[in-house]
């Protein structure tokens, strides 16, 4: 063979071989994952789901570039146990954190979590923002659960204050010297009996806004780990109210011009501004990923931990936060537990798609396992959503039912099965308890849960009662089914 021809052939073979190796490397590269969780946002709080009084263009764009799940449920109707469901892949009948009440409620140190399964697959992991799962929380609890970095609030009461005196970095307190807690006239701390960090900052000492610090930390984590697959659980504490503040529990650093000009109560201006901050952060995050060349290999998920709140002076109806759904946070109607869920995954999830597949928080962990190609933990309740995300709905496993329980306000249980919804109230019976109430709804005909059809469908009531019996397991901290006449209600969540 002519030497020039031979050398040319060898060079071509080398280029092809290198190209194939690089292509294989790209194909085998695990996608980065960012799970963006907001706090107390309802189905109607986004312009893409019908909000008319303000706009959320960046979140709308996220959905336009990905998939919107229209039949997605959070873990339960308040923060702590809902987040436990998300973190462990278990529903509230099986989690070790089932309420916001005081008492020993923590995830087990050996319990699989979103972070631990991804860490085992080679991911760098971070939780930024609000942890708030259980009580009392050890300072290193997120690290025990698989997170390389933890930055933000540990307990949920601390997370009410967006101008806190301190945040925690991997269990070590970092003082925010620009913020100072408001004390009583006699100089004492009026929240001294509450978990550490509870309270509201002085009006003249609010210099460091925690959500701004969280965004900065998230972008730094991306920059530091862009050569590795990374997972960020970005748990922003907005648009939750500061329940300790009075009269305005939705305080923000400032309003943009459009909101400032509105003839709205200050608390509602604050709520709308918090939604604008959330939307801006989504836009900033996407823009940074694009700038760093990471956008095409990063999955972004966006969700809310429960339905809209009516706290801190904010009224759910002012912005029609629950849209067509009945109820709000703390309710078992869909307004309390059904929330928007968006997934963007360039090249994998069809842009502008929607899914009415019945899903819940506990489906996220097995989905992550399939994405990272690791074995699913035993004993979870979730089903992987990967087939739906990839458009292969024929392979999508379906839930027989979704189960929910809640320990406050007399005890509540709910089951969603196919198009049926069953709710049971006042289940904790004891001295002075209200009678048990049940209702059955057919959601395809009655999305607002207005028509109770249990009398017409006793066979469905029997089936749903069976699901409730199957879904609930005893919980040693507080009994759902028996009660001594006392009601524990730590409403600050």
CB 205 within 8 A of CB 180: yes
H/E stretch holding 438 reads: strand 437-442
CB 488 within 8 A of CB 476: no
Question: Domains in the chain, ordered, with CATH?
Answer: 29-395 (3.40.720.10), 402-471 (3.30.1120.10)
Predicted confidence (pLDDT) at residue 52 exceeds the cutoff of 90: yes
Please tell me the predicted confidence (pLDDT) of residue 25: 47
pLDDT one-digit tens code per residue, 92-145: 999 999 988 666 789 988 999 999 999 999 999 999 999 999 988 999 999 999
The per-residue DSSP string of 13-71 comes to HHHHHHHHHHHHHHHHSPPEEEEEEESS--TTSSGGGT--SS--HHHHHHHHTSEEESS
Please tell me the predicted confidence (pLDDT) of residue 324: 97
Report the residue count for the chain: 493
Please tell me the predicted confidence (pLDDT) of residue 247: 83
CB 313 within 8 A of CB 242: no
Model pTM score: 0.93
Report the interhelical angle of 266-291 vs 210-224 (nearest 10°): 10
pLDDT one-digit tens code per residue, 426-451: 998 888 889 999 999 999 999 999 99
Instruction: Give the pLDDT mean for 78-86.
Output: 97
Distance of CA 112 to the CA centre of its chain: 18
Residue 477 — pLDDT band, cuts 50, 70, 90? confident
Task: Please confirm whether the linkage preceding 247 is cis (ω < 30° from 0).
Answer: yes
Please tell me the predicted confidence (pLDDT) of residue 4: 56
Dihedral sign of CA atoms 339, 340, 344, 348 in order:
positive
pLDDT one-digit tens code per residue, 218-273: 999 999 999 999 999 999 999 999 988 878 999 999 999 999 999 999 999 999 99
Task: Please confirm whether the linkage preceding 136 is cis (ω < 30° from 0).
Answer: yes
């Amino acid at each position: 063979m002519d030497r020039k021809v031979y050398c040319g052939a060898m060079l071509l073979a080398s280029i092809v071989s290198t190209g194939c190796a690089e292509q294989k490397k790209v194909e085998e590269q695990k996608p980065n994952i960012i799970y963006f969780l907001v706090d107390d946002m309802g189905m109607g709080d986004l312009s893409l789901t019908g909000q008319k009084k303000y706009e959320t263009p960046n979140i709308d764009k996220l959905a336009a570039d990905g998939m919107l799940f229209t039949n997605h449920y959070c873990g339960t109707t308040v923060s702590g146990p809902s987040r436990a469901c998300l973190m462990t892949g278990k529903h509230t009948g099986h989690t070790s954190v089932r309420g916001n009440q005081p008492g020993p409620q923590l995830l087990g140190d050996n319990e699989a979590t979103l972070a631990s399964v991804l860490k085992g697959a080679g991911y760098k992991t971070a939780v930024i923002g609000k942890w708030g799962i259980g009580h009392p929380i050890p300072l290193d609890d997120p690290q025990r659960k698989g997170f390389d970095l933890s930055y933000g609030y540990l307990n949920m009461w601390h997370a009410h204050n967006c101008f806190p005196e301190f945040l925690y970095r991997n269990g070590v307190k970092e003082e925010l010297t620009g913020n100072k807690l408001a004390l009583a006239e006699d100089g004492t701390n009026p929240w001294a009996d509450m978990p550490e960090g509870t309270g509201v900052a002085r009006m003249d000492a609010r210099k460091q806004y925690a959500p701004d610090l969280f965004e900065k930390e998230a972008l730094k984590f991306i920059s530091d780990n862009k050569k590795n697959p990374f997972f960020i659980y970005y748990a922003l504490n907005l648009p939750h109210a500061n329940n300790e503040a009075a009269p305005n529990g939705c305080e923000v650093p400032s309003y943009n011009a459009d909101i400032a000009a509105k003839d709205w109560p200050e608390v509602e201006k604050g709520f709308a501004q918090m939604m604008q901050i959330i939307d801006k952060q989504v836009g900033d995050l996407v823009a940074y990923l694009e700038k760093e060349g990471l956008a095409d290999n990063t999955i972004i998920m966006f969700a809310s931990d429960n339905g809209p709140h009516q706290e801190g002076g904010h009224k759910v109806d002012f912005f029609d936060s629950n849209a067509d759904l009945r109820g709000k946070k703390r309710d078992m109607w869909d307004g309390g537990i059904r929330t928007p869920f968006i997934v963007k995954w360039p090249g994998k999830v069809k842009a502008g798609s929607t899914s009415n597949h019945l899903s819940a928080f506990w489906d996220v962990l097995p989905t992550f396992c399939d994405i990272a190609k690791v074995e699913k933990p035993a004993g979870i309740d979730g089903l992987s959503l990967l087939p739906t995300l990839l458009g292969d709905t024929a392979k999508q496993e379906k839930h027989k039912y979704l189960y929910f329980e809640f320990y406050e306000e007399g005890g509540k249980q709910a089951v969603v099965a196919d198009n049926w919804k069953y709710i049971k109230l006042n289940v904790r019976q004891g001295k002075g308890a209200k009678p048990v109430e049940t209702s059955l709804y057919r959601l395809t005909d009655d999305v607002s849960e207005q028509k109770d059809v249990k009398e017409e469908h006793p066979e469905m009531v029997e089936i749903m009662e069976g699901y409730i019996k199957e879904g609930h397991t005893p919980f040693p901290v507080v009994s759902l089914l028996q009660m001594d006449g006392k009601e524990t209600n730590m409403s600050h969540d």
